[in-house]
Amino acid sequence: MALKISLKPHEKVIISGAVVKNGPGRSDFVIENVVPVLREKDILTPEKADSPCRKIYLIILLMYVDGHNLTQYHKSYWELVKEVMEVAPSQRELFAEMSGKILEGCYYQALKLAKKLINYEQEAMNLVRDTRTGL
């Protein structure tokens, strides 16, 4: 089944590992085979992976778009998951579901779950900050 993507002016998309940047006008693309596709809003750069959960997201993103280095990414993923689960055991179910998707090779679905993990991390950080500032 084909995937239609509409890009805004100058929006980027990763298609099967290639970064494609749209020109000054709106464009529509139709992807007619199954390849990894990530819109700019879902792309996280290494510079912005500045927390443990964001690093997990980045590793899954790399699994999705760069299948040549899966062994390395899987090793990094499992090391980070172990560290984060030690401080956030309440997220065990989310980790189990996300890890299951990774083991099935369903990296895009795992990315969506990793976004939930980032939201949890942000809420926890906000709570700590509010507690420290007395809000």
Residue 107's domain comprises 44-133
Q: What's the predicted TM-score (pTM) here?
A: 0.89
Instruction: Looking at the structure, tell me whether residues 26 and 55 fall in a common domain.
Output: no
Instruction: Looking at the structure, tell me whether residues 62 and 113 fall in a common domain.
Output: yes
pLDDT value of position 77: 97
10 Å CB burial of residue 60 (0-12, 13-18, 19+) is buried
List, in order, residues 6 or more apart from 134 with CB less than 8 Å away. Answer: none
Instruction: Looking at the structure, tell me whether residues 10 and 71 fall in a common domain.
Output: no
Number of domains in the chain: 2
pLDDT value of position 134: 65
pLDDT band at 126 (very low <50, low <70, confident <90, very high): confident
| Mean pLDDT confidence for 33-57 | 94
Instruction: Looking at the structure, tell me whether residues 62 and 88 fall in a common domain.
Output: yes
Instruction: Looking at the structure, tell me whether residues 123 and 74 fall in a common domain.
Output: yes
